[in-house]
């Protein structure tokens, strides 16, 4: 029962709380947190008690999917603290009825559809004023301002808002109970948007970057170099230097699979292979955005593994590495020589990955990074655009398809 889990968690929290009359010396207890005002203050002292307290908050938050969807950790913590304060003040015990009332109060708040908007610097819209990409809308601030005015909501906004956010915004929507949870949920979605855009742009470095949560502002990097006899100075413009025009057909193109990728992002349920394709695109986006070349390289290889590994245990043995290399060769190359060359390349990438992960190699050559990105992105596009590959739903179907390609079987023979 959810009420029983909440009762147990609140009881655990009360057991590690000290009221004002029994507060111990902070210097003797190490880590401590204090809640409430002077009249109803209580504290949690010591690392173990704070661990118990935090774990109990997590247990309430995850008592049901609906609660987890509706509230942030801090909101549950705040509501729990109020209950503890009331019980202390009234001399109440924390029974099942009180836990049920706590849950009822949580679920009494109405579920609402929240639109969450963030500035989107470094982006152009051409002549468009709104463009939709899967669950995301790219919207000009004038359109947004007019929409809020029609709703009568603009009067609640800071007076200088529109002058400070740039011309272009990105918007998505979530269904939850509180604005804080809406912000938290869309933080994850906006980060996903960043990674997918990085996958599509597909260039390493800072030159082109779409940032919502992790913005790269343009700045000048100044460096002074000197010896006993010489002095040098250098200044370079860094950050996202080129604006990206999202009105270009490329970003919603059918031939490169971008339209299908946006549709997958908009799906509430995806089959196993669809989840793999989205994850591969996100790994590529992470790699593109990562300034550490070794980490970026490993993330590109992760994308290759996500798409081609049929090993559910996740261990990459020499035989699995060979299977992945063969699969990449069959999918990306068309003749014998080209396939042999591709197989050697992917094996080389895996040997380098092993050196990075297991031997601490910290530098990856630009050509090696480019090769890994080219293979990972080529495979991802293939899974998005090829009718056979994007019809696969499960790992065993992928394994069967790769065997058919390897042994030359056609559909009639299989």
User: What are the pLDDT digits (tens) for 148-201?
Assistant: 788 776 666 666 666 666 788 899 999 999 999 999 999 999 999 999 998 998
Q: If you average pLDDT over residues 41-52, what whole number do you get?
A: 84
**How far is residue 400's CA from residue 414's CA, in Å, rounded to a whole number?**
10
Q: Which of 207, 299, 288 is nearest to 244 (CA)?
A: 207
For the stretch 121-148, pLDDT in tens is: 888 888 889 999 999 999 998 888 888 7
Give residue 412's pLDDT.
46
- Is the pLDDT at 107 greater than 60? The verdict is yes
Query: Could you write out the DSSP letters of every residue in 150-168?
Result: HHT-GGGS-TTHHHHS-SE
Mean pLDDT over 344-353 rounds to: 90
Q: What is the pLDDT of residue 49?
A: 87
| Better pLDDT: 311 or 324 | 324
DSSP state of 216: -
Helix (H/G/I), strand (E/B), else coil: 364: coil
Tokens read off for 129? 């004023």
CB 238 within 8 Å of CB 219: yes
Instruction: Quickly state the pLDDT bin for 414 (edges 50, 70, 90).
Output: very low
How far apart CA 47 and CA 164 sit, in angstroms, is: 43
The pLDDT of residue 227: 59
**pTM reported for the whole predicted model:** 0.82
Confidence of residue 226 (pLDDT cuts 50, 70, 90): low
- Give the torsion through C-alpha atoms of 131, 135, 140, 145, to 10 deg: 130
Supply 254's token pair. Answer: 């059918």
Joined tokens for residue 306: 């996500």
């Amino acid at each position: 029962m959810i009420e029983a889990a909440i009762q147990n968690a609140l009881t655990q929290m009360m057991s590690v709380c000290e009221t004002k009359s029994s507060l111990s010396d902070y210097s003797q207890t190490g880590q401590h947190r204090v809640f409430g005002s002077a009249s109803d203050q209580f504290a949690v002292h010591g690392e173990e008690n704070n661990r118990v307290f935090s774990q109990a908050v997590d247990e309430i938050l995850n008592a049901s999917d609906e609660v987890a969807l509706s509230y942030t950790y801090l909101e549950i913590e705040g509501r729990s603290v109020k209950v503890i304060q009331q019980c202390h003040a009234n001399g109440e015990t924390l029974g099942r009825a009180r836990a049920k009332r706590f849950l009822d109060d949580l679920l009494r708040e109405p579920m609402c559809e929240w639109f969450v908007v963030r500035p989107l610097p470094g982006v152009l819209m051409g002549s468009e004023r709104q463009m939709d990409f899967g669950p995301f809308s790219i919207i000009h601030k004038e359109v947004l301002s007019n929409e809020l005015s029609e709703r009568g909501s603009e009067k609640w906004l800071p007076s200088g808002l529109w002058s400070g956010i740039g011309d272009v915004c990105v918007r998505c929507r979530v269904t939850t109970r509180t604005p804080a949870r809406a912000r938290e949920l869309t933080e994850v979605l906006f980060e996903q948007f960043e990674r997918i855009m990085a996958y599509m742009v597909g260039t390493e470095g800072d030159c082109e970057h779409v940032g919502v949560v992790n913005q790269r502002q343009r700045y000048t990097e100044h460096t002074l170099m000197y010896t006993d006899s010489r002095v040098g100075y250098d200044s370079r413009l860094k950050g996202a230097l080129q604006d990206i025009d999202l009105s270009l057909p490329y970003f919603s193109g059918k031939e490169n699979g971008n339209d299908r990728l946006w549709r997958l992002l908009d799906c509430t349920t995806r089959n196993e292979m669809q989840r793999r394709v989205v994850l591969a695109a996100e790994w590529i986006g992470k790699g593109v955005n990562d300034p550490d070349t070794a980490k970026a390289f490993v993330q590109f290889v992760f994308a290759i593994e996500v798409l081609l590994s049929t090993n559910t245990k996740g261990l990459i043995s020499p035989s699995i590495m060979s299977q992945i290399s063969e699969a990449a060769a069959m999918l990306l190359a068309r003749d014998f020589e080209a396939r042999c060359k591709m197989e050697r390349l992917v094996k080389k990438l895996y040997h380098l990955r092993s050196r990075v992960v297991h031997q601490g190699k910290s530098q990856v050559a630009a050509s090696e990074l480019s090769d890994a990105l080219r293979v990972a992105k080529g495979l991802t596009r293939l899974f998005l655009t090829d009718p056979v590959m994007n019809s696969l739903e499960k790992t065993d179907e992928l394994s069967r398809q790769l065997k058919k390609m390897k042994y030359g079987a056609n559909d009639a023979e299989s």
